[in-house]
Amino acid sequence: MDPRLREDDRTNKGNSMIGRLRGIILEKQAPDLVIDVQGVGYEVAAPMSTFINLPAINEEVSLFTHLIVREDAQLLYGFATIRERLLFRSLLKVNGVGAKLALTILSGSDVDDFARSVQEGDAASLTRLPGVGKKTAERLIIEMRDRLKDISGAMGLKPVTSAKAKLAGAKDEANDALVSLGYKPAEAEKMIRILDTDGLNTEQIIKLALQRN
């Protein structure tokens, strides 16, 4: 690979290779899942906005994807809607925002809420997201304002059907998922402890914890 090729260019080349996946869910543990597409298992990372609406294991799912090609890895990210993928791609262009932070932002704020915070210059709302400090929030407001028109006007697709099946150890799995999103273990534990989780599965607990935070 030409060393003069910028990271953005390498990312864009990856986009044209895998733009969408449709297959059977083999594994899922937020934020990661494995999708079987005609015998090939694709490892995909998804924001919680997508993850909480995934169907159950062994059921079919269709996701819009974004492929990042690096010298040491090829990383695939999946999204329930085109709007989520558009926001993810736009966030990657912001100075200091990598894929992990972009995924965290999407996990803690939907497209419309994020757009509203940026348009209103609401840095306080943005800093509530894990990994987003004051400087990063200000940078997001400045750099994302001009990019939001395309995202806000994009046609979104209906999210995939939510799974109804309960998973064993739902609270522990939800706690692990929150930690993987950037929350400190003690903070994640507290977020779940204050919730009424009776009858809720892992995805529902995560969603409720993010809404209450």
pLDDT tens digits, 72-88: 888 999 999 888 998 99
Return the CATH fold of 83-152.
DNA polymerase; domain 1 (1.10.150)
Q: Is the pTM of this model over 0.85?
A: no
What single DSSP character describes residue 145? G
Per-domain residue ranges of the chain = 7-79, 83-152, 170-212
Q: What is the largest CA-CA distance in the chain?
A: 55
Which of the residue ranges 26-35, 105-114, 163-172, 178-187 would you say has the lowest mean pLDDT?
163-172
Rounded CA gap, 182 and 2, in Å?
34
Q: Are 37 and 22 in contact (CB under 8 A)?
A: yes
166 pLDDT exceeds 50? no
Q: Which CATH architecture has domain 170-212?
A: Orthogonal Bundle (1.10)
Q: CA–CA separation, 79 vs 95, rounded Å?
A: 22
Parallel/antiparallel/unpaired status of strands 32-37 and 20-29: antiparallel
* pLDDT over threshold 80, residue 139: yes
Using one digit for the tens of pLDDT, what is the confidence trace for 174-189? 877 787 777 777 788 8
Alpha-carbon distance of 50 to 65, in angstroms, equals 12
Taking the C-alpha atoms of residue 156 and residue 174, their distance in angstroms, rounded to an integer, is 27
The pLDDT value given to residue 153: 55
Cα torsion angle, 130, 32, 77, 206, sign: negative
Banded pLDDT at 103 (limits 50, 70, 90): very high
- Which CATH number among 3.40.50.720, 2.40.50.140, 1.10.10.10, 2.40.50.100 corresponds to the domain 7-79? 2.40.50.140
Phi and psi of 92, rounded to 5°? -65, -20
Percent of the chain whose predicted confidence (pLDDT) is above 90:
27
